[in-house]
Every structure is written in C-alpha cells, then in structure tokens.
Amino acid sequence: MNVLKMFDLNGKVAVVSGGAGLYGYQIVSALAQAGAAVYVASRNRQNNLAKLSGLIEQGYKINVMEFDLEDEKSILKLCEDIYAIEGKVDVLVNNAVLRCMNGYTDTAVNFERSMHANATGLFVISRAFCDRMAKAGCGSVINIGSYMGILGPDYNLYEGTQMNKNGALADYFFHKGGITNYTKFLAGHYGRFGIRANCIELGGLFDGTQDELFVERYNKSTMLGRMANDTDVKGLIVYLASEASAYMTGAIIPLDGGYSAK
C-alpha cells in the first residue's frame, strides 16, 4: 500500500468527546479533513455547533451530538445512537474534560465531582465503545492526556502573574495521571480483539489570553522555544487514527515541544 494512503480515513467513523476547545477543534478538523465521518459530543451542543459551523459549511462530515460525561445513561445512549446510525465506530478520541476545581484550596466535593466525570466517565465511555469495537475486531482509542499527567507542577512559571493563586489543579494532575496508565490497561485488555489504545500527553497551547510573563517562561522551558499552535496536534491525531499506526498500541506520546524531555 502507498504510504500516503495509509493515512486516509475515508470510510472511517470517529467519535470525539468534547471538541469545542482549541485542541478539540484541531482534533475534529484533522479527522474530518482526512476523510472520516466525525461525531462530536459534549454537554453543550450549541457551543460545538457554533465552533464547528465553518467546517460543516465546507462540507466535512461532522455531526454534533449531546452527552453528559457525568451521566452513565447519557454516555450509553450516545454509543447506541451512533451505532444505530453508522453501524460501527472505528476511532474513539477521549478528549472531553470537566473543569470542576478552582485550585488546590477548593472543596473535596468539587474534587469528587471531577473524579466522577473525568475518571468514572472515561471508564464508562471507553468500555461502552471498546466493547462494541471488539465485536468488529478493530478500532483505535486515542486518549488526550497532558504533560501534567507525567510531571508535577512548576510554580516558577507563574511567579508574578495571577495564575494558580489558589494552587495548581490537583484533580487535573490526578485524572491526567490516571488516563496515562488507563491507556495501557485498554491496550492490554482489548489488544486481543484488534483494538489499539494510545495516549497523547499534550503541552501548553498558546491561545492569546495567557499572561505574557508566563508565556515567556513556558517558551524557554521547551526545547523548541514555543507553546503549541493551532495545528500542532493534527498530524499525530490522523496517524493514530489511521492504518499508518497499525502496530502501535499502549504508547504514551509527549507532544509538548520537548517540555517533558529534559
């Protein structure tokens, strides 16, 4: 097979949780531009529709649906509805994250809510789709992690800014660490059924709103001297979703400009 054709996603069905954020938009656009029919699901369907309307108007196969990562019935209904329409799912991208805490000083109640959505919800949606993929004998799971899942916080980045005044987000470090190892579980559990699972550990994305001092420090902390831009994740997403990565599973892949390599 021609190597470029190995990256072709025509005929593939992909499900992306989240999708309205800057990284989420890249993920959805990359999969759609590579030819996949993409189902994007979040708790705010109208927000996703607004963010993705430009791509939809260009004719890309993007369907926006609604689900709640905190609600098991909602997750299972999403799975059933997509299978009822398409009859299959080839790619699941676990991208959604519920932001519950306002720093380390926040309440245990908010920590528990975060765990329910970002840990239990991840478990439920992964099992629901992977069990169905297993019956088909193939599939790719792409978990969206963070360098915060493999490193501790660096408070030096925030000195002199208003960022993280209440301490870093303990829940985020906790569940991103969890998604890293859960990826290896999924790879081991479902590999015998032809399903692959890999995790992308994303670095900081420049969005134009960050404190200039933070951006300067963060840039110096990477090997490439910059934060991620609005296209940096697209190539890796298509690679992991496609047959080009057919022999890759259980991989934990930093995509952070070398931030975590030092």
CA distance 64 to 84: 15
Q: Are 166 and 102 in contact (CB under 8 A)?
A: yes
Q: Residues 184-198: pLDDT tens digits?
A: 999 999 999 999 999
Mean pLDDT confidence for 151-158: 96
Confidence of residue 22 (pLDDT cuts 50, 70, 90): confident
Task: Sketch out the chain's domains with CATH numbers.
Answer: 3-261 (3.40.50.720)
The predicted-structure confidence for 200-241, as pLDDT tens digits, reads as follows 999 999 999 999 999 999 999 999 999 999 999 999 999 999
What does the pLDDT read at residue 5?
96
Whether residue 27 is predicted with pLDDT greater than 80 in this model: the reply is yes
Q: Please list the residues that pair with 252 across neighbouring strands.
A: 199
CA distance 15 to 116: 21
pLDDT single digits (tens) 30-67? 999 999 999 999 998 999 999 999 999 999 999 999 99
Task: State the chain's mean pLDDT as an integer.
Answer: 96
Of all residues in the chain, what percent carry a pLDDT higher than 70?
100
Distance CA 235, CA 177 (A): 24
Q: How does residue 21 score in pLDDT terms, banded at 50, 70 and 90? A: confident
Q: CA 23: distance to chain centroid? A: 8
Under the banding of pLDDT at 50, 70 and 90, the label for residue 1 is: confident
- For residues 3-25, give the mean pLDDT: 94
The predicted structure's pLDDT at residue 19: 81
